Amino acid sequence: MPAKPRLAVVKFASCDGCQLSLLSLEDELLRLAGKIEVAYFLEATSRIEPGPYDVVLVEGSITTADDATRIQQLRRAAKYLITIGACATAGGIQALKNWADSEEYLRAVYARPDYIRTLATSTAIADHVAVDFELRGCPINKHQLLEVLRSLLAGCQPRTPTYSVCVECKRRGSVCVMVAHGTPCLGPVTQAGCGAICPAYDRGCYGCFGPSDQPNLVPLTDHLRSIGMTPEQVVNSLRGFSGYAGEFRRESERLVESIGTIATGVGAAAVEPDVADSSGEWGDGQPGGDPK
Amino acid sequence: MAERETKPDPKGKSLPASDDGPGAAGWIAKSDFQSFLDRLVALGYRTIGPTLIQGAIGYDEIRQVDDLPKGWTEHQSAGSYRLVRRDDDAWFGFNLGPHSWKRYLFPPQQTVAKAIKRDDGWQLDDVEDAEPPFAFLGVRACELAAILVQDRVFLNEHHSDPIYRRRRENALLIAVNCTQAAETCFCTSMGTGPRCVVAFDLALTETELGFTVEIGSPRGASVLAGLPIREAAPAECAEAASARQQAEDQISKRLDTTDIRELLLGNLDHPQWDDVAERCLSCTNCTMVCPTCFCHSVEEVSDLDGGQVDRVRQWDSCFNARFSYMNGGLVRGDVRSRYRQWLTHKLAGWIDQFDTSGCVGCGRCITWCPVGIDLTAEVAAIREVPK
Ligand code: SF4
Ligand code: SF4
Ligand code: SF4
Ligand code: SF4
Ligand code: SF4
């Protein structure tokens, strides 16, 4: 890595939330700016410098033919290409269209669908080009982003865990929402990195960091059904922000196959299941409520 | 009142049972209990005890008697915990929640050392632990046993962990005898409860209007000096004894520990390991809630300029695939081998390593396993069809 590596932050189909994580590194941003030359980052500056770049952070998924070409050019201009966020690493929430009729979506959403040119799928960057490192999450965790940039500067391997969200949930001291409230949670099969935010606020993890290392999906989906979710709800909960990622995708497709067709297209039921147990006095559907 | 020494005992030898029969115990009224909590603060202790957290009874800082989960209890079973109202106002009318004292003696994440780059090289220093002394209020018998087990891990003749040692030696252990048992409790099988007999500074038994108080150490006795404590009346001692008996009578779960080391180590290829591997999420929850599990990993975290590196220790688990990573690959690359590692280490390997079982029968791993895997059932299944 040169003394002051040149950084580009590039976006494909995405909401810009992950790029903003870079800007929200308030404390570290100035020190970072002294070590990295920001050559291309439209979210932060309108100044554009041509490649090649030492590090390219890629946000977003590939949903158009133009983008499929652009990512190839970008790969050639990048020494290290790092994907950031669920869109870039798994296709994002927009990958729902992979299981649906893209034409139907166009007709439902746009007044003039003939103005729109889009691929039938939303796919991860790694489906198109070689990726050097990926950061998961919707959005990514800014501390993990800093860890990656710091490691690049130091020339070492970033430390990002591959174990489950449960590890961080327990270290944090949160009460397990699945065991204590009967709230469905994908934490046991989802990769850590977020600090187990959702259970700390009495919400189940909805899997935005994608599958953990060697996840065991079947016993979890069996369990979710045993605590009251319908098979459709289980499929919809797996098909969230990282729904098209490896094991999540295979398990939702296995379930669909085992139960027959399922409504996941336009207007499908909301992903958020609500089967919180109401037998205990606390579990009266008031997350965060204080029993005192 | 009898006094006993309760310094951390690396051998964990059992001390004789104390006795709160007539004349041997003190008694403090609930209406005076706030003065006891105030005394702990005045003595510089940070009191940690049971309190309502996110719809469960966890451990956190206690300042007022109203911080205690008065009138609440829990229903526990494999994979399920529900907070429920009691039909009385008992202050300690529950058993165990997801937290254990381990999070205070062996914190989930801690910077243990710092290295700073100087002109003449790196300077590495331990980080001083600044935590004030803890008073643990409401330690159950199985939890006292778990602390003695962790003493063997962190305070043995080969290795003494400075952070654990300091926190442990400073901690005041105020035990509370169980007056009920959860469906998941099996301390009687492990010989650890439900009666508190070792390692406490003070042991309380709740009665309707107050607590009988047994003194377990000179430190425990000195904490009480000047507080409104009188000798317990025979009727109060009898009420306490029958409350404790109720806990004993309610314990229904059993773990047959006969030759358990040989049973498990002699059945490493038992089909039950395949069976449990189909059900286990390898999520680590059982190890995280277990009050004796001590696995951790250490990472070096550098700052942006590379001028300072923190050495951070955090809880880790044998259920994490990468935990067994060695040059060349994973030693335990599937769920079967990882579950087997946990159970055989806990119930057999610990005997070789620390001369004690790693299990005290608290049942937390059963309750807090999201899919309700029960180690006592796994052992029973292995016992049923011997190789
Ligand atoms: S709340 Fe979810 S992430 Fe936390 S321990 Fe339970 S299952 Fe795991
Ligand atoms: S808890 Fe799950 S859904 Fe929530 S931020 Fe973390 S990974 Fe994403
Ligand atoms: S295992 Fe025994 S000592 Fe522990 S909480 Fe249950 S009854 Fe009490
Ligand atoms: S193995 Fe389970 S029952 Fe035994 S001490 Fe650990 S958490 Fe408690
Ligand atoms: S036994 Fe239960 S808690 Fe332990 S790793 Fe397996 S699924 Fe998780």
- By the 10 Å C-beta count (0-12 exposed, 13-18 middle, 19+ buried), A278 is classed as exposed
**H or E element, residue A37:** strand A37-41
Nearest to B108 among A171, A219, A283 (CB): A171
Chain B residues lying within 8 Å of A289, measured CB to CB: 55
Chain B residues lying within 8 Å of A153, measured CB to CB: 304, 306
Please state the rounded mean pLDDT for residues A231-252: 95
Atom of ligand 4 nearest to the CA of B290: 7
pLDDT of residue A51 exceeding 90: no
- Report the mean per-residue pLDDT for chain B: 92
pLDDT of residue A276 exceeding 60: no
pLDDT of residue B1 exceeding 80: no
Q: How many CB atoms lie within 10 A of CB A103?
A: 11
Contact call for B80 and A215, based on CB within 8 A: no
Chain A residues lying within 8 Å of B368, measured CB to CB: 176, 179
Ligand 1 centroid–CA A166 distance in Å is 5
**H or E element, residue B381:** helix B375-384
Longest dimension (CA), chain B: 73
**Which chain A residue has the Cα nearest residue B332?**
A214
Contact call for A31 and B305, based on CB within 8 A: yes
Q: From CA A167, how far away is CA B295, in angstroms rounded?
A: 12
Please state the rounded mean pLDDT for residues A249-267: 77
Least confident of A100-109, B88-97, B183-192, B243-252: A100-109
Per residue in B59-80, pLDDT tens? 999 999 999 999 999 999 999 9
What pLDDT is recorded for position A263?
Answer: 54
Contact call for B98 and A176, based on CB within 8 A: yes
- Report the mean per-residue pLDDT for chain A: 88
CA angle, B334 then B337 then B341, to 5° = 140
What pLDDT is recorded for position B34?
Answer: 98
Domains in chain A with CATH codes: 6-154 (3.40.50.700), 165-259 (no CATH)
Please state the rounded mean pLDDT for residues B352-368: 96
Flag whether residue A144 sits within 8 Å of chain B, measured between CB atoms.
no
Atom of ligand 3 nearest to the CA of B250: 7
Ligand 5 centroid–CA A195 distance in Å is 20
What pLDDT is recorded for position B157?
Answer: 87
pLDDT of residue A26 exceeding 90: no
Predicted interface score ipTM higher than 0.90: yes
Per residue in B171-210, pLDDT tens? 999 999 999 999 999 999 999 999 999 999 999 999 999 9
Please state the rounded mean pLDDT for residues B146-172: 95
pLDDT of residue A62 exceeding 90: yes
- Of A90, A29, A18, which Cα lies nearest the Cα of A57? A18
pLDDT of residue B370 exceeding 70: yes
Residue pair B343/B335 in contact by the 8 Å Cβ criterion:
no
Q: How far is A44 from chain B (nearest CA, A)?
A: 21
Structure tokens at A31: 């020190």
Residue type, B304: L
Sheet holding B296-302, edge to edge: B121-126, B109-118, B308-315, B296-302
Instruction: Place B3 in a pLDDT band, splitting at 50, 70 and 90.
Output: very low
Cis peptide before B194 (omega within 30 of 0): yes
Q: How far is B306 from chain A (nearest CA, A)?
A: 7
Please state the rounded mean pLDDT for residues A39-44: 87
pLDDT of residue A265 exceeding 80: no
Flag whether residue A187 sits within 8 Å of chain B, measured between CB atoms.
yes
Chain B residues lying within 8 Å of A32, measured CB to CB: 304
pLDDT of residue A59 exceeding 80: yes
pLDDT of residue A205 exceeding 60: yes
pLDDT of residue A96 exceeding 50: yes
Please state the rounded mean pLDDT for residues B283-301: 96
What pLDDT is recorded for position A93?
Answer: 95
Per residue in B5-29, pLDDT tens? 344 443 333 333 445 544 468 999 9
Contact call for A167 and B315, based on CB within 8 A: yes
CA angle, A156 then A159 then A160, to 5° = 140
Contact call for B304 and A28, based on CB within 8 A: yes
Q: From CA B97, how far away is CA B74, in angstroms rounded?
A: 8
Q: Which residues line ligand 1 (CB under 6 A)?
A: A 165-166, 169-170, 174, 176-178, 185, 187-188, 196, 199, 205; B 285, 370
* Residue B360 Cβ contacting ligand 4 at under 6 Å: yes
- Specify the pTM: 0.91
Tell the residue number behind the tokens 């490691």, with chain if given.
Answer: A151
Q: From CA A264, how far away is CA A262, in angstroms rounded?
A: 6
CA distances from A58 to A75, A82, A126, B268, B283 (A): 10, 6, 11, 47, 30
Least confident of A139-153, B102-116, B139-153, B355-369: A139-153
Q: From CA B3, how far away is CA B219, in angstroms rounded?
A: 9
